[in-house]
Amino acid sequence: MIKPYGSDQLNPLFVADDAQRSALEAEAEQLPSLLLNSAAAANAVMLAGGYFNPLTGYMNLADAMSVSIEMKTSDGLFWPVPIVNLTEDNSVSAGSRIALRDPNVEGHPVLAVMEVNAVEEVSEEQIDLMAINIFGTLDGNHPGVATFKGLGRKLVSGPIQVLNFSYFASEFPDTFRTAVDIRAEIAERGWETVVAFQTRNPMHRAHEELCRMAMEQLEADGILIHMLLGKLKPGDIPADVRDASIRKMVELYFPANTVMVTGYGFDMLYAGPREAVLHAVFRQNSGCTHLIVGRDHAGVGDYYGGFDAQTIFDEKVPAGALQLEIFKADHTAYSKKLDKVVMMKDAPDHSKEDFVLLSGTKVREMLGQGIAPPPEFSRPEVAKILSDYYQALDAKAG
């Protein structure tokens, strides 16, 4: 199996030993507390699951700045986005041991125990410099920029030991999996070549066929459909609805033992190219050999060029930094001429009218009215799940 990123063995920060974890939980109740924001909590969950291997905790300011600007830590580890604990809390001091509390679970239980190596003040100029490099913009309308700039100006760094997986394990027991879990299942299935498909949306026919194309071209043993389960921007479809629609598609339209439907506990950054590279890092940690990177991968609005998330791998990722390879996908749509889904670049004789193309807004309107999109665009069984969700949403709003 492909090696984890940055080490020979995966080093998840979840404390798996029951006795050790119980002792830490008891200790944590006596420690000073820091209530995390959702972004820092999501980072802890990703560190817990081994997704952010080989990191051992939250980055300090020097590493955060270096990663933002040069895509590497101070000691030279290639890394695409800073993994930080920014806060507005002034009570934490360097050299202390603290309990990190979960903002997303009622009662704010302890999520992790942290050794505080440093507490550093981050200037507005430093925040802006990080944001412009991570997101490519300082526009406050960009959801990632708005979130990042609102996290706080105290950067608390140091190693952590994580005690649970927040709400992800309890709310999504059939779907949430750690990198450790996924590696174990890949090994159990006997897969060698594994393609990861990233999604924060339901999957339409084009996505389904894209997975199939990648599998065939790479002669892969299986596909990991890996959905984000954390916080999204307003208007995005909730994880439970996405999960149901994706599972229905896989059940009906893929052969047995070719697809793993899983999810990971992270909040969407909407960082386009930088987030695509992060996706590659943690898919390698999950045991995948390839990642599908399509048009506007991890993007939002018009902030990124259609294929910026592909070119960053050629222009910014050092040769040999990743063992995982990128499967570059074009915009994919149903061809009326060929009566099948194709990548648009593979159909140079087509005009726009030769494809079944629907905007997200148009699909949303149709589903809200109980009108199924054409079967060339969306499987009817998937459309039914989405239509039920949108009609319930509209009824509630009305």
Share of the chain above pLDDT 70, in %: 99
Give the bridge partners for 115, in sequence order.
Answer: 97
Which two structure tokens, joined as six digits, stand for 178? 């750690």
Instruction: Specify whether 201 is catalytic.
Output: yes
Sign of the dihedral defined by the CA atoms of residues 177, 183, 185, 189, in that order: positive
Catalytic residue among 21, 153, 189, 200: 200
**pLDDT band with cut points at 50, 70 and 90 for residue 360:** low
For the CA atoms of 364, 393, 385, 179, what is the dihedral angle to 10 degrees? 90
Catalytic residue among 201, 212, 247, 364: 201
Domain boundaries, the chain: 18-169, 174-397
Please state which architecture CATH assigns to domain 174-397.
3-Layer(aba) Sandwich (3.40)
Q: Which of 309, 305, 331, 293 is nearest to 199 (CA)?
A: 293
Instruction: Compute the distance between CA of residue 31 and CA of residue 98 in angstroms, rounded to an integer.
Output: 5
Per-residue pLDDT reduced to its tens digit, 275-333 = 999 999 999 999 999 999 998 899 999 999 989 999 999 999 999 999 999 999 988 88
Question: Has domain 18-169 been given CATH number 3.40.50.720?
Answer: no
- Which amino acid, one-letter code, is at 142? H
Instruction: Compute the distance between CA of residue 313 and CA of residue 324 in angstroms, rounded to an integer.
Output: 11
pTM over the 0.85 mark: yes
Q: Is the peptide bond before 238 cis (omega within 30 degrees of 0)?
A: no
- Whether 51 and 282 have beta carbons less than 8 Å apart is answered as yes
Instruction: Specify whether 364 is catalytic.
Output: no
In the block, tokens 């590497």 appear at 72
**pLDDT band with cut points at 50, 70 and 90 for residue 33:** very high
pLDDT given for residue 346 in this prediction: 83
